Structure 1
Amino acid sequence: MTTPRDTSPSRRTRANGDGTVYQRKDSRWEAAGYVLAPGNTRRRVRVYGTTRKEALAKLTERIANSNRGLPVPSAQGTVGAYLTYWLANVAVHHLRENTHTRYATCVHRYLIPGLGKKKLTKLTAKDIRTWLNQLRTTCQCCTRSIDARRDQPRCCAAGQCCHKLLSPLTLTYLHSVLKSALEHAVREEEIPRNVARNVRTGTPRPRRFEPLTADEARQFLSTTRGHRLHALFELALHTGLRKGELLGLHWEDLDLDAGTAAIRRTLQRTSAGGLTTLPTKTRASERRIALPSRCLHSLKLHREQQQREREAAGTTWQHDGHVFTTVQGKPIDPTNITRAFTTLLRKAGLRRIRFHDLRHSTATLLLEQGVELVVIKELLGHAHIGITATVYAHVRLRLQRDAIEALGTALVGRETTETARSDSDERPPCASLVR
């Protein structure tokens, strides 16, 4: 009669549900058991090890994850295959066209060449960190063969590397794209967890911008007087509206008697649809703002000018309700606004800035006037006040420094006054008469 002690290790009886462990003919150990699979079903999995203990540990880990409700990964393809599927079937329905185009560029230019050949289920945080470090230190002219396509090489082909590296902001953006794709793979139960979340890229420094000062803003507005789109530039500088929000304004959105404007849409150029009217950037961007009296006066004059242009155009007029249009009544291309803005800056003798810096100028000037941060957040249409506080942290720091300096001056002045009063109580020597 045999006892459990005499039984071979490969023949030991395991409890029901613990799976089986046995040694194969090639001397490896194999463990098999049932675990949770996508669709609330169960599937038999097999794991292998060089020893019985190693195979049993792998199976125990799989069963433990299954008992916690984590399904076994079902994806058998590569990271590149899943990213292609995600772009074509998921992201295209949840992103704007321009955002989807940027995501596709990141995927095809950086993600697939760097991580595309790895199995989706075997992708680790170490793989992602190694890929990001490689991008951080590799010249893009060499990697993407940019120099080879130039008429006159000035990098690798010329024998000297220009060290064109990706910025920290670009690396963070690439990491966020990968993280979004893997997050959807987790929701579809293709992988048990998002390993990209375990990689920290650091917080990049915010992009520097040079807003207009109060004197430069007055000089710019003085130059725009007489321009047919003077009302647009004045409205941009007084309210901080985005370029697309300005061009997407309809006359029905304005209440010139009450002095308000409803921001409901934005106008953008897409590669597929051309000039397209879209919803606002975020839900918080859909807002109602107050208009200053100067902008109300300019808008009334602009409406009269538009009526004259409509009469001059006659049957060629193609007006569809936009506030700012071409002389034929068509919506204005955002590129043409940028071109006109650059021309006006040159005419005013000001440094070249982006049109979006008018929005930054508005917020900066309001902060310097002591306007509350929450009021600026509502005016700009930020999703939450943390964005406003982060973007304009340098302005708040300067205001803090001014406040501290003012407090220091007040304290020093008070101390000097008290000292003078205490000294005046004592009679000075008669020999030391000072005028």
Structure 2
Amino acid sequence: MTAPRPARKSRANGEGTVYQRKDGRWEAAGYILTTNGTRKRTRVYGATRKEAVDRLTERMAASNRGLPAPAADCTVGVYLQHWLDNIAVHQLRETTHTRYHATVRLYITPALGRKKLGRLTAKDVRTFLNQLRNTCQCCTRGLDHQGVCCTAGACCGKQLSPLTIIYVHSVLKSALQHAVREDELPRNVARNVPAGTPRPKRTEPLTAAEARQLLQTAEGHRLHAMFELALRTGLRKGELLGLRWTDFDLDSGTVSIRRTLQRTTSHGLTTLPTKTTNSERRIALPTECLRSLQDHRQRQARERERAGDGWLETGYVFTTSNGRPIDPTNLTRTFSTLLRDAGLRRIRFHDLRHTAATLLLEQGVELVVIKELLGHAHIGVTATVYTHVRPRLQHQAINTLTNALRPDTTPGGKPASR
């Protein structure tokens, strides 16, 4: 007599359905709230029963917390707003999320917002990108307020740059990929449409002579130590502004990069984690930077004494005259004034970082060392950004090889006997 099969535990009402498919996978199904306000039956899959149940439980729990799931029959505009408000906001830095939000509002929603998410095709995406490339933004977005474009019958032809087109495409691609992960779309149609590969933007860093001129002009400036650090270590603007005295070990001559200072929409001037995990690093400081930092600390002590009760102790290395952190925009203005005083061409503050890396490359420093100093995530990033240096390095290498292969000559000009 065969033993009776154990009775399966009955599921409570609302827990969904779980069963094993013919292909061996487990499928779990249940009802969740969607972005269009209705409830729909959703299906998830897993290699084991527990995996499928866990995925369904997670999705239903999110629905019960008021986070609706995307629905294939909702519009692209509704889905993108759901993705920005409930998904991307938890995955992106605030500044990046703000750029994503502006990209969706200005470009994607006006063109694709009314299309059904489930009916969006690669052809729709390709047509959308082509329109961005070929249409005047003054006309499309109604930016012509002075009657100098289409309203005057003479379009200025202000089109988006290739890099902006790629950025718009990447935002749309990221949003649709989430719908694919949620099993709302069978595939990411934006992935099938290439956005093009424009030439990397050529940077114009300072030459060694220009860099020396800048440092000479900066002597005596209250932020001289910052410009020294920027040119000699390649730190980012936000990393420099986010430095605290506790990050330095002046005895061993090192500094730890732990944070960045940025202005955000919601919190104003605030500290954030470094750009990537690789950006959090410890670097050695040259003697010139250590000397200028010692002078800067003494200068800051005198400013603290003069400010008295008006001094705000924040612990930051680079502050205003009353101890408050420096706004990145104000630093940009200060840097522009310094360039003008030095008689140098106008560049971005970020180009000081490019200058440091370029000069290191030209001095023969290995790429992997520069990658660690700059805090790049991958060495490929370093190699790509500084491709403009390669022709000069190749020329130097060829000359070195030529000199090595040139036969030895006697003082009279004849080849030496062997």
TM tier, shorter chain? 0.7 to 0.9
Structure 1 partner of 2:209: 215
Is the counterpart of residue 414 in structure 1 residue 411 in structure 2?
no
Alignment equivalent of 2:113, drawn from 105, 111, 116:
116
Asked if 2 retains the 8 angstrom alpha-carbon contact of 1:243 and 1:356, the reply is: yes
Instruction: Give the aligned partner of residue 197 of structure 2.
Output: 203
Aligned partner of 1:320 in structure 2 is: 314
Q: Which amino acid aligns with 1:229?
A: L
Could you tell me which amino acid in structure 2 is paired with residue 203 of structure 1? T
Is the deviation greater in 250-259 or in 118-127? 118-127
Contact persistence 2:76–2:109 (CA under 8 A): yes
Matches within 5 A, 1:136-147: 136-147=133-144
In the aligned structure 1, how far is the partner of 2:396 from the partner of 2:196?
31
TM-aligned CA deviation for residue 422 of structure 1 = 7.3
SS at the partner of 1:134?
helix
- Choose 364-373 or 318-327, whichever is displaced more: 318-327
Contact 1:74/1:191, CA 8 A, preserved across alignment: no
Q: Does the residue aligned with 2:262 lie in a helix, a strand or coil?
A: strand
- In 2, Cα distance between equivalents of 1:41 and 1:252: 54
Give the superposition deviation at 1:221. Answer: 0.2
CA contact (8 A) 2:206 2:355 kept: yes
Equivalent of 2:80, from 57, 80, 83? 83
> 273, 286, 295: which is aligned to 1:292?
286
8 A Cα contact 2:408 2:415, kept in partner: no
* Most deviating of 392-401 and 354-363: 392-401
Letter in 1 for 2:251: D
Unaligned regions of 5+ residues in structure 1, if any?
1-33, 44-65, 426-435
Q: 2:274 aligns with which of 258, 277, 280?
A: 280
**3-state SS of paired residue (2:151):** coil
Given that 1:250 and 1:322 are in contact with CA atoms closer than 8 Å, whether structure 2 keeps it comes out as yes
Length-normalised TM-score, structure 1 = 0.78
Change (3 A) 1:160 1:252: same
Distance in 2, Cα, partners of 1:319 & 1:74: 51
How big is each residue's C-alpha offset from its partner over 1:187-232, in whole Å with a ceiling of 9 and x where there is no partner? 1221121111111112221122210000000000000001011001
- How many Å apart are 1:41 and its aligned residue? 2.7
Equivalent AA in structure 2 for residue 87 of structure 1:
L
- Does structure 1 retain, via aligned residues, the 8 Å contact 2:27–2:46? no
Residues 1:129 and 2:126 are matched in the alignment: yes
Q: Are the structure 2 counterparts of residues 424 and 272 from structure 1 closer, same or farther at C-alpha, using a change threshold of 3 Å? A: closer
Provide closer, same or farther for how the CA distance between residues 259 and 42 of structure 1 changes in structure 2, counting only shifts above 3 A: closer
Equivalent residue in structure 2 for 1:225, among 188, 194, 219: 219
Aligned length: 361
Q: CA deviation at 1:35?
A: 12
SS of residue matched to 2:278: coil
Q: Is the 8 A contact 1:74 1:189 kept in 2?
A: no
> Over alpha carbons, which structure has the higher Rg?
1
1:416 Cα offset (Å): 8.4
Q: After TM superposition, what 4+ stretches of structure 1 lie above 3 angstroms from structure 2?
A: 66-69, 408-411, 420-425
Cα distance change of structure 1 residues 123 and 408 upon mapping to structure 2, 3 Å threshold: same
Mind listing any 5+ residue stretches in structure 2 that lack a counterpart?
Answer: 1-20, 32-44, 53-69
Distance 1:399 1:253, change over 3 A: same
Q: Is the 8 A contact 2:409 2:415 kept in 1?
A: no
Aligned pairs (5 A) from 1:145-294:
145-147=142-144, 149-150=145-146, 153-294=147-288
Structure 2 Cα separation of the partners of residues 361 and 255 of structure 1: 25
C-alpha distance in structure 1 between counterparts of 2:250 and 2:352, whole Å: 23
Q: Deviations over 1:373-421 (max 9, x none)?
A: 000000000010000000001102321122124434554x42988xx75
Instruction: Specify which of 41, 54, 60 is matched with residue 29 of structure 2.
Output: 41
TM-score, normalization by structure 2? 0.81
Residue matched to 1:342? 336
Q: Deviations over 1:290-310 (max 9, x none)?
A: 000000011011111111111
1:410 and 1:423 map into 2 onto residues whose CA distance is 15
